[in-house]
């Protein structure tokens, strides 16, 4: 899965049929090279089963028509736009695959308060623990929608939108971005950078190890000072032990 080396994102939650995107927000999503991207990510919660609870992601570079200082984007227009932008399909597949389990993994903190969530997301990302925290069982669509309904009802649309913004930032970072820059009062909402080499090239090597071999590899990584690889081995070993 090839990914943009730098990813700028503007995030919207709406209970209506569309969203407004200001000229200032669009300007902040501009990129200067072909390896980077600026995206608009929208989560609808409007009673439409086709889109409710899922992220719609579009390349902001192709949003041109404005009404004054803003752009009005309906869910049908965003769906059409996303289907015409296959270069973001790898990013969308990552989000579609991991979004329900990711939300479930951090549900407790998300329902508690924004501060607790951001602190835990940052810690797990820094220590390479996010993948190991994801649930092994499949999250049913009804369970996913129930969690979102509780989140929006508990915090209100505005605060829930900020919570979902941070959840999406670290969900996308799970694809291989090591640096997450949040802008709680600025634009864009967040920037992801420092993309791992295997994520940048879209190539991964898969091999099997016994638990004993995994433990030996973990000790070798630690003795060599390769903390990133040690964290990856630890996360996958934890998942294997759970199984």
CA of 31: how far to CAs of 17, 60, 85, 154, 188, in Å? 28, 10, 17, 36, 12
Q: Which sequence spans correspond to the domains of the chain?
A: 7-201, 211-242
Residue 242 pLDDT:
45
Q: Where are the alpha helices (DSSP H) in 174-210?
A: 197-201
* H or E element at residue 164: helix 141-173
pLDDT given at position 205: 47
Residue-level pLDDT at 219 = 86
User: How much is the pLDDT for 203?
Assistant: 42
CA distances from 108 to 105, 112, 120, 144, 164 (A): 8, 6, 11, 14, 13
Question: What pLDDT is attached to residue 238?
Answer: 54
How far are the Cα atoms of 170, 171, 174, 185, 233 from residue 122, in angstroms, in the given order?
8, 11, 12, 18, 20
The pLDDT of residue 239: 47
Give the model's pLDDT for residue 68.
67
Q: What pLDDT digit, counting tens, does each position of 41-64 carry?
A: 999 998 877 788 999 999 998 887
Pairing status of strand 190-195 against strand 7-14 = antiparallel
Q: Give the gyration radius of the chain's Cα atoms.
A: 19
Residue 149 CA to residue 160 CA, distance in Å, equals 10
pLDDT of residue 33: 87
Sites in the chain below the pLDDT cut of 50: 202-205, 239-240, 242-243
């Amino acid at each position: 899965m090839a990914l943009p080396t730098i990813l700028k994102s503007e995030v919207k939650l709406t209970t209506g049929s569309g969203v407004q995107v200001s000229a200032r927000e669009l300007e902040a999503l501009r990129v200067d090279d072909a390896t980077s991207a600026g995206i608009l990510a929208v989560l609808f919660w409007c009673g439409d089963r086709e889109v409710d609870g899922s992220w719609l992601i579009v390349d902001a570079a192709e949003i041109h028509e404005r009404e004054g200082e803003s752009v009005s984007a309906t869910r049908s227009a965003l769906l059409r736009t996303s289907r015409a932008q296959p270069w973001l399909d790898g990013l969308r597949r990552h989000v579609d695959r991991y979004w329900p389990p990711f939300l479930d993994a951090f549900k407790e903190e998300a329902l508690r308060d924004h501060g607790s969530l951001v602190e835990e997301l940052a810690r797990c990302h820094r220590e390479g623990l996010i993948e190991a925290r994801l649930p092994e069982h499949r999250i049913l669509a009804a369970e996913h929608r129930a969690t979102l309904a509780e989140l929006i009802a508990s915090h209100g649309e505005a605060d829930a939108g900020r919570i979902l913004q941070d959840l999406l930032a670290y969900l996308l970072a799970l694809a291989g971005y090591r640096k997450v820059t949040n802008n709680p009062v600025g634009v864009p909402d967040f920037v992801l950078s420092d993309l791992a080499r295997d994520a940048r090239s879209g190539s991964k090597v898969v091999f099997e190890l016994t638990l004993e071999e995994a433990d030996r590899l973990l000790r070798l990584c630690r003795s060599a000072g390769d903390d990133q690889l040690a964290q990856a081995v630890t996360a996958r070993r934890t998942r294997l032990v759970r199984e």
